[in-house]
Amino acid sequence: MNIGAIEAGGTKFVCGIGNEKGAILERMTIPTTTPSETLKRVVEFFEGKNIERMGVGSFGPIDLDPQSMTYGSITRTPKPYWSHFNLIGELKKHFSIPVAFDTDVNAAALGESVWGAAKGLDSCLYITVGTGIGVGSLTEGKLVHGLTHPEMGHIMVRRHPEDTYTGHCPYHGDCLEGLASGPAIEARWGKKAVELVDKAQVWEMEAYYLAQAIANYILILSPKKVILGGGVMNQKQLFPLIREQVVNLLGGYVHHKQILEEIDSYIVPPGLGDNAGLVGALGLALKE
């Protein structure tokens, strides 16, 4: 069976054709411009490919309530032109097949649990640290939703004693995303994250924030695996720093060997690498 997969991002849309085994057979990347221009190219890619179902993991916030009049749309985003655009409605106009829809990070969490670093587990967290910070959660075999969907990238964190940067989240200022996303690192230090590799203080501060968030997520959700992806996590030196600080913050209270003895295999990079989002979208289509 040919399955369509879309990782819809604020910078680019990645489209793919895959199969039941999680393999991507063909893919194409389209820059995210206006909704009409972008969707025109997406539709052209899938036309004539004989796809029987489709899965879409999208940037957000998105409307995931099947009872809602605006189900399938991007709700309110600072990204020009995209607020209130009904992404799923538009796709359905062209393809009369089942189309599954969830956040990009929920899709990635699902993909990782079926084919990646959390394979075989009924619970994991997928955290992306990139232009923004987003978190997807699989709990007791289900992707977590509620009133809308969780927005765990925007939690409040304790400020690093030496950090004077005000934070850049347009909604909250110094929430986690405001202090620890790629653009926050760049604004605080005056250079792109990738140019700050040798500056230990940058990564110590970054780990300080991410570790607090992860410790909180562990306390609230008790995930069986914590997966960290996104552009900033290309800085592999962050992993040992984060693991150490998570263990310290939890203070031995969460009494499980994964945390007390096996933290190296508990907080890990994505098993699917950069494909987590696209393969996850494939997973959404199969789960539908």
From the list Zn ion, ligand ADP, none, pick the one residue 154 interacts with, judged by a Cβ distance below 5 to 8 Å according to partner type: Zn ion
Q: Which is nearer to ligand ADP, 127 or 250 (CB)?
A: 127
Q: Is the dihedral of CA 57, 63, 65, 66 positive or negative?
A: negative
User: What's the token pair of residue 237?
Assistant: 């030196």
- Please, what is the minimum distance in Å from the beta carbon of residue 53 to ligand ADP? 25
Q: Which is nearer to ligand ADP, 11 or 265 (CB)?
A: 11
- Please, what is the minimum distance in Å from the beta carbon of residue 147 to Zn ion? 17
Backbone angles phi, psi at 155, to 5 degrees: -75, 160
Residues forming contacts to ligand ADP in the complex (CB under 6 A) are: 9, 11, 130-131, 182-183, 192-194, 230-232, 234-235
Q: Which is nearer to ligand ADP, 53 or 182 (CB)?
A: 182
Tokens 């310290």, located at residue: 248
Q: Which is nearer to ligand ADP, 131 or 148 (CB)?
A: 131
Please count the residues of the chain.
288
- Please, what is the minimum distance in Å from the beta carbon of residue 247 to Zn ion? 27
Q: Which is nearer to Zn ion, 90 or 177 (CB)?
A: 177
Q: Which is nearer to ligand ADP, 35 or 230 (CB)?
A: 230
From the list Zn ion, ligand ADP, none, pick the one residue 169 interacts with, judged by a Cβ distance below 5 to 8 Å according to partner type: Zn ion
DSSP structure string for 46-91: HTTS-EEEEEEEE-SSB---TTSTTTTBB-S-SSTTTTT-BHHHHH
- Please, what is the minimum distance in Å from the beta carbon of residue 77 to ligand ADP? 13
Quote the CA–CA distance of 44 and 36 in Å, as a whole number.
12
Choose which of 169, 215, 218, 282 interacts with Zn ion (CB under 5 A).
Answer: 169
From the list ligand ADP, Zn ion, none, pick the one residue 220 interacts with, judged by a Cβ distance below 5 to 8 Å according to partner type: none
Q: Which is nearer to Zn ion, 158 or 257 (CB)?
A: 158
From the list Zn ion, ligand ADP, none, pick the one residue 175 interacts with, judged by a Cβ distance below 5 to 8 Å according to partner type: Zn ion
Q: Does residue 144 touch Zn ion according to CB under 5 A?
A: no
Tokens 């009924």, located at residue: 122
Phi-psi sector, 91: left (phi>0), alpha (psi -120 to 50), beta: alpha
From the list ligand ADP, Zn ion, none, pick the one residue 270 interacts with, judged by a Cβ distance below 5 to 8 Å according to partner type: none
Quote the CA–CA distance of 193 and 182 in Å, as a whole number.
6
Q: In what order do the strands lie in the sheet with 142-143?
A: 142-143, 133-139, 124-129, 226-229, 267-268
Quote the CA–CA distance of 1 and 269 in Å, as a whole number.
30
Check if the beta carbon of residue 126 is closer than 8 Å to that of residue 109. yes
From the list ligand ADP, Zn ion, none, pick the one residue 14 interacts with, judged by a Cβ distance below 5 to 8 Å according to partner type: none
Q: Nearest residue by C-beta to Zn ion?
A: 169
Q: Tell me the site size for Zn ion, rule CB under 5 A.
A: 6
In single-letter form, the type of residue at position 250 comes to L
Q: Does residue 39 touch Zn ion according to CB under 5 A?
A: no
Check if the beta carbon of residue 142 is closer than 8 Å to that of residue 91. no
Q: Which is nearer to ligand ADP, 13 or 250 (CB)?
A: 13
Q: Which residues bind Zn ion (CB under 5 A)?
A: 154, 169, 171-172, 175, 177
